[in-house]
Amino acid sequence: MLTRDRRLTRRAGMPPFLRVESDRFRDQLRQVLHAFAIDPGEALFRRCVECNAELVEVAREEAAGQVPPFVLATQTRFRRCPRCRHLYWEATHVARVRDELSRMGLASRDAAAVAREDPR
């Protein structure tokens, strides 16, 4: 559990927790990544944002008809959530996330990543 609440962390019977120290999100991110030995280059965009299941690679042909034509024409890699069936691919926000992590010294710009697409 992550919390900033000092009183909560003093309660008896608390589950394992990390008290996040900073008010600034970049510092918070650094603290969490360090505390749990998370490599954002390895973990970036590997899980479904809806249900947290690990994404699996799917063939481009399987994505055809489920993504906009421009996406199919410009993307080669697709992943699907095996639980909720959401389809993902690398999109422009992925580059922004990579750039921010790189500026923070937390990940390389070429870390593998895919972005979410909501088929609704």
Q: What are the tens digits of pLDDT across the range 20-45? A: 999 999 999 999 999 999 888 787 88
The secondary element (H helix, E strand) that includes residue 28 is helix 25-35
**pTM (2 decimals)?**
0.66
Question: Residue 5 falls within a domain, yes or no?
Answer: yes
Domain contains 77: yes
Same domain, 82 and 47: yes
Q: Helix, strand, or coil here: 46?
A: coil
Q: Identify the pLDDT of residue 91.
A: 85
Q: Is residue 62 one of the residues assigned to a domain?
A: yes
**pLDDT tens sequence across 98-118:** 899 989 988 653 443 333 444
Tell which phi-psi region holds residue 107, choosing left (phi > 0), alpha (psi between -120 and 50) or beta. Answer: beta
Residue 95 confidence (pLDDT) above 90 = no
**Does a structural domain hold residue 16?**
yes
How many domains does the chain contain in total? 2
- Tell me: do 90 and 59 sit in the same domain: yes
| Closest by Cα among 60, 86, 59 to 74 | 60
Residue 14 structural domain? 1-28
Query: Are residues 9 and 45 part of one domain?
Result: no
In this prediction, residue 78 carries a pLDDT of 96
| Shared-domain flag, residues 75 and 98 | yes
Answer yes or no: do 5 and 47 share one domain: no
| Any domain includes 53 | yes
| Cβ neighbourhood burial of 58 (10 Å; 0-12, 13-18, 19+) | middle
Q: pLDDT digits over 50-84, tens only?
A: 999 999 999 999 999 999 999 999 999 999 999 99
